[in-house]
């Protein structure tokens, strides 16, 4: 029997939460997160507070760095990339690497 493969598109708070929940439900699943930015697991709703200066450092919005997902939860995180096309029949996605400086 092959392990279930789960791809979560979007690695901010909701995406990382969904990936973590999927892994808890099925620990043998191959779970990947693809995120078009280099940062994952942050509360995007807090961005206005960073811009306004109420939250002094963007890092305060980050719950877990990307490497923690692999080390602690066995969830692969692909950053600076986006899924350009999903083929549900073949269960494949076409990935595009986005260079973020």
Name the DSSP class of 28.
T
For residue 8, with 0-12 CB atoms within 10 Å meaning exposed, 13-18 middle and 19 or more buried, which class applies? Answer: buried
Tell me the two tokens of residue 18.
């969904």
Residue positions annotated with a catalytic role: 45
SS3 content of the chain, % helix, strand, coil (to 5): 35, 30, 40
Tell me the two tokens of residue 8.
């979560």
Name the residue among 41, 44, 32 with its Cα closest to residue 95: 32
């Amino acid at each position: 029997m092959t392990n279930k493969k789960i791809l979560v598109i979007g690695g901010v708070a909701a995406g990382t939460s969904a990936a973590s929940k999927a892994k808890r439900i099925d620990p043998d699943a191959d779970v990947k997160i693809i995120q078009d930015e280099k940062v994952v697991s942050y509360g995007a709703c807090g961005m206005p507070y960073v811009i306004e200066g109420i939250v002094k450092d963007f890092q305060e919005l980050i719950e877990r760095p990307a490497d923690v997902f692999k080390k602690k939860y066995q969830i692969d995180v692909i950053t600076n990339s986006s899924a350009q096309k999903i083929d549900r029949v073949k269960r494949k996605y076409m990935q595009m690497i986005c260079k973020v400086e």
